[in-house]
Amino acid sequence: MVLTKEYTTSPPTFKHLTPYERGKICALLKEGFSPTQIAKKLGRHRSTIYREIKRGTTTQLRTDLTTYSTYFP
């Protein structure tokens, strides 16, 4: 009996965001672009951008003890 490998799924084709792309996301967010617009500009899927923004967003404390959220690449 001969066994053959028949794969039914294709290998993943993802790639990580580069530091340049993360910096670009930060700059575009500060300019007021939406995550969907940023995804189109970078040629990435919008869920990738949404996940990156969620992953990199932190809550900061101002000197008057109020909080704000911001994205850090």
What residue segments make up the domains of the chain, in order of their start?
19-71
The pTM of the full predicted model, rounded to 2 decimals, is 0.78
Which helix or strand (DSSP H or E) is residue 55 part of?
helix 46-56
Each of the 73 residues of the chain gets a pLDDT tens digit; together they read 566 677 777 777 788 999 999 999 999 999 999 999 999 999 999 999 999 999 999 999 999 999 999 999 9
Q: List Cα–Cα distances, 55 to 5, 14, 69, in angstroms.
A: 38, 17, 12
